[in-house]
Chain A
Amino acid sequence: MATLTATPTPAGGPRLLRVLRGTLYTTAVLFFCLLAASPFLVMGVVTFQTDQDLYRRGASPFDYEDMPTLEHLDNLFNDTRYLSFVRNSTVTGIAVVVVTLVLSLPAAWALARLTGRWGERAGMLMFIVYLVPPTLLFIPLFRIIVQLGLRDNLLSLILVYPSISVPFSTWLLMGFFKSIPPELEEAALVDGFTRYEAFWRVVLPLARPGIISVVVFTFTLTLHEFIYSLVFISASEVRTLSTGVPTELIRGDVFFWQPLLASALLVAIPVGLVYNLFLDRLVQGFTLGAVKG
């Protein structure tokens, strides 16, 4: 682009140049959008293909020789437990988000305001907990879940997922709370409010980008988490999306591609939309947490 603008042009050139540059820019943007969207496009296209079309040798995924069919969607919704997976995942997700917020908001606030050595150390400790991978924890946690009698119960996931989401969220929110001057809270105290009210009315609204980040992070975590979900839950009707879809739609080495891709796409669309809605806030959330944490 820089070389383009530097090239001397004949009369009428600048305008041409501008148009050219605009076109180039648009083309580049479109290209990258397409690149990013292509997996989803393929998913969408394949969903409606018949098996003959899909498995024809040498054909691209976009070739339709037979009429598009709704057979696979019908199959996904009526012959598998897909809807119950979606419901289980949603219930788990919402419950885990609530538990995470209830635990990490006060924890993060306390850690942010404990400016002494202990506050810093406790903050570090929280983060170290986050770094312990589930692959190390799932066996001992499984025994606990069995003893609690929570096998094949969504409660097991609601209980265990916060062990990942709470440390991370606390860490992220701590950065936010630290960036809010204590004077604002004190001003609210002087203005006639209790500490609790000051937190609700002044601190929380200012930490909103952080809270949105926590909600999105926690919800997507419960959507894609695999190990705990696989280990704690074996009854098909209690399964969540992340384990239910691969166990029901892959039999041995047979992949039911069309319903498989459709199921992923149907979950990806709403999540993508929500992400886009809060994109600015999210970026702000993660970078602030990163710098100030």
Chain B
Amino acid sequence: MSEVNLKGVVKRFGDVQAVAGVDLHINSGEFLVVLGPSGCGKTTLMRTIAGLEKPEEGQISIGARDVTALPPRKRGIAMVFQSYALYPHMSVAGNIGFPLKAQGRCPDRAEREQRVYQAAQMVSIEHLLDRRPRQLSGGERQRVAIARAIVSQPEVLLLDEPLSNLDAKLRAYARDELKGFQRKLGITTVFVTHDQIEAMGLGDRIVVMRDGLVQQVGPPQAIYDRPQNTFVATFLGSPGMNLQLVSDQVQRGFRPEHLLPLGELPPGAAHEPFSWRVTRVENLGSDRLLYGHLADFRGEMQLTVSRLPSNVTIEIPLDTVCEFGVAHDQLHFFDVASGERLEEGVAA
């Protein structure tokens, strides 16, 4: 267990800045999720922490040690690759025990076998130890990869989209299990994903990245409730936040679940009224999504979405002006030019 510190880390590939100056502090024992769209540099950031990429600038330390110049094997880390990278020529036991064979980490054969067994037990694959990786299902492979990562008791565990090869149902179980052993072991964990549900569900804190830069760091609920800029606001949530220009300088945002028929707003709360025409309804079972257009201050129409929970059964007529509203404390304001969040007082 160790904290991890990144200071001004830059990684370039030719002209591309995959990581463009990242400062990050990861607490000891924390489950940190790195979230961002495809190509934003998540994998590169993780590989830089692992030592598989050398940063052009910046400094990385794990625990009290500056590891910037150290090779991966001296960093006290373990990693689960997106493809799992299991060694095809070794059995499951061979795969899990492989890190223990490095430079006399665990020279005693009996002890090695016992530790392999314990790691396998931790992810409930002790019955598969004699198989080859190609004889395993995706979920089993993922567990072997995790067992291999935890067997050497690393200080830091790095996971690169480990659940993306699993089907949706298995993914929910795997998420739960993963969080389970992370708690049990208390390893500092960095988990990369582009799936916001995974991020919200797993992370003690979330780092949102875009184009190699950190946009916001914080607990999932805090990021969701107070997005730092329009990118974070629209990236999180499905669908993301609605944005509407209110002047040349300011735009305001509100989440789809906060745009409600007037009767559904919390009684007595001050609210901003919106009249709009709903042009399409999607029934998702648990929710209804309403699509329509709202005019901004110049009169231009912008696509807007409202999300009604299933307990709101009110009939919404199509192509008819309806009266909706958003409670004042659910409105967010952003600068138009920079996209940065404006404090409520400024906007009012």
Interface residues of A (CB under 8 A from B): 181, 183-184, 186-194, 197, 202, 205-206
A194 to B83, CA, bound (A): 21
> With a CB–CB cut-off of 8 A, which chain B residues contact A206?
88-89
The one of A184, A192, A193, A197 in contact with B85, judged by C-beta atoms closer than 8 angstroms, is A184
Alpha-carbon distance between A205 and B98 when the two chains are bound, in angstroms: 14
Q: A184 CA to B87 CA in the complex, in Å?
A: 7
Interface residues of chain A: helix, strand, loop or mixed (majority): helix
Q: Which residues of B contact A187 (CB under 8 A)?
A: 79, 81, 85, 87
A246 to B51, CA, bound (A): 61
B316 interface residue (CB < 8 Å to A): no
Q: Could you list 16 A-B pairs, sorted by A, with CB under 8 Å?
A: A184-B85, A186-B72, A186-B85, A187-B79, A188-B87, A189-B73, A190-B50, A190-B77, A190-B78, A191-B78, A191-B102, A191-B152, A194-B71, A202-B87, A206-B88, A206-B89
Take A186-B52, A202-B87 as given contacts and tell me if A193 and B73 are in contact as well, using a CB distance cutoff of 8 Å: yes
Chain B residues with Cβ under 8 A from A188's Cβ? 87, 98
The residues of A that contact B85 with a CB separation of less than 8 Å are 181, 183-184, 186-187
Q: Does B137 contact A (CB under 8 A)?
A: no
B83 near A183: Cβ-Cβ < 8 Å: yes
With a cutoff of 8 Å between Cβ atoms, the chain A residues found around residue B240 in the complex are none
Tell which of A181, A192, A197 touches B83, judged by Cβ atoms closer than 8 Å.
A181
Apart from the given pairs A181-B83, A183-B81, 14 other A-B contacts in the complex at a CB distance below 8 Å: A183-B83, A186-B81, A188-B98, A189-B51, A189-B52, A189-B72, A189-B73, A190-B73, A190-B78, A192-B105, A193-B102, A194-B71, A194-B73, A206-B88
Collect the chain B residues with CB atoms within 8 Å of residue A197's CB: 102
Interface residue ranges, B against A (CB under 8 Å): 50-52, 71-73, 77-79, 81, 83, 85, 87-89, 98-99, 102-103, 105, 148, 152
- Chain A residue at minimum C-beta to C-beta distance from B74: A192
Please indicate which of the listed interface residues A187, A193, A205, A206 has the most CB atoms of chain B within 10 Å of its own CB: A187
Residue of B with least CB distance to A197: B102
Residue pair A191, B99 in contact (C-beta under 8 Å) = yes
Do A192 and B73 touch (CB < 8 A)?
yes
Q: Are A191 and B98 within 8 A (Cβ)? A: yes
Contact A190 B72 (CB under 8 A): yes
Given contacts A190-B73, A191-B152, contact A205 B89 (CB under 8 A): yes
Specify which chain A residues have a CB less than 8 angstroms from the CB of B98 in the assembled complex: 188, 191
- How far is the CB of A169 from the nearest CB of chain B, in Å? 21
Complexed CA–CA distance, A190 and B51 (Å):
8
Q: Is A190's CB under 8 angstroms from B88's CB?
A: no
Interface centre among B71, B81, B85, B105 (most CB of A within 10 A): B85
User: Closest residue to B79 on the A side, CB-wise?
Assistant: A190
Q: Determine how close the nearest CB of chain B comes to the CB of A199; give it in whole angstroms.
A: 13
Are A192 and B152 in contact (CB-based, < 8 A)?
A: yes
A188 CA to B88 CA in the complex, in Å?
13
A259 to B319, CA, bound (A): 101
Return chain A residues, CB-CB under 8 Å to B148.
191
What's the Cα separation between A233 and B52 when bound, in Å? 52
A182, chain B: closest CB distance, angstroms:
9
Q: Determine the residue in chain B with the shortest Cβ distance to A192.
A: B102
Chain A residues, Cβ within 8 Å of B152: 191-192
B280 shortest CB reach to chain A, Å: 44
* Interchain CB contact (< 8 A) of B99 among A184, A192, A194, A205: A192
CB distance from A116 to the nearest CB of B (A): 10
The interface residues of chain B lying within 8 Å CB-to-CB of A192 are: 73, 99, 102-103, 105, 152
Give the nearest-CB partner of B98 in chain A. A191
How far is it, in angstroms, between the C-alpha of A191 and the C-alpha of B157 when the chains are bound? 12
Distance between A210 CB and nearest chain B CB, rounded to angstroms = 13
Chain A residues in 8 Å Cβ range of B51 = 189-190
Q: How far is the CB of A212 from chain B (nearest CB, A)?
A: 14
Nearest chain B CB to A194 CB, angstrom units: 7
B residues less than 8 Å from A184 (CB atoms) = 85, 87
Shortest Cβ distance from A190 into chain B, in angstroms? 5
Q: What's the least CB distance linking B119 to chain A, in Å?
A: 13
- B-side contacts of A183, CB under 8 Å: 81, 83, 85
CA distance A28 to B69 in the complex (A): 67
- Of chain A, the residue at the smallest CB distance from B83 is A183
Q: Which residues of A contact B102 (CB under 8 A)?
A: 191-193, 197
In chain A, what residue has the closest Cβ to B75? A190
Closest CB in chain B relative to A176 CB, distance in Å? 13
Nearest residue (CB) in B for A191 is B99
| Interfacial chain A residues near B78, Cβ < 8 Å | 190-191
| Alpha-carbon distance A186/B51, docked complex (angstroms) | 10
Residues on A with beta carbons closer than 8 Å to the beta carbon of B50: 190
Taking a contact as CB atoms under 8 Å apart, the answer to whether A189 and B71 are in contact is: yes
Query: Which residues of chain A are within 8 angstroms of B87 by Cβ–Cβ distance?
Result: 184, 187-188, 202
Contact of A190 among B52, B83, B103, B105 (CB under 8 A): B52
* Least CB separation from A204: chain B residue: B89
A158 to chain B, nearest CB (A): 32
Q: How far is the CA of A186 from the CA of B102 in the complex (A)?
A: 14
A190 contact set on B, CB distance < 8 A: 50-52, 72-73, 77-79
Q: Give the Cβ gap from A37 to chain B, nearest Cβ, in Å.
A: 36
Can you list the 7 inter-chain pairs with the closest CB atoms, starting with the nearest?
A192-B102, A191-B99, A187-B85, A183-B85, A192-B73, A189-B72, A190-B79
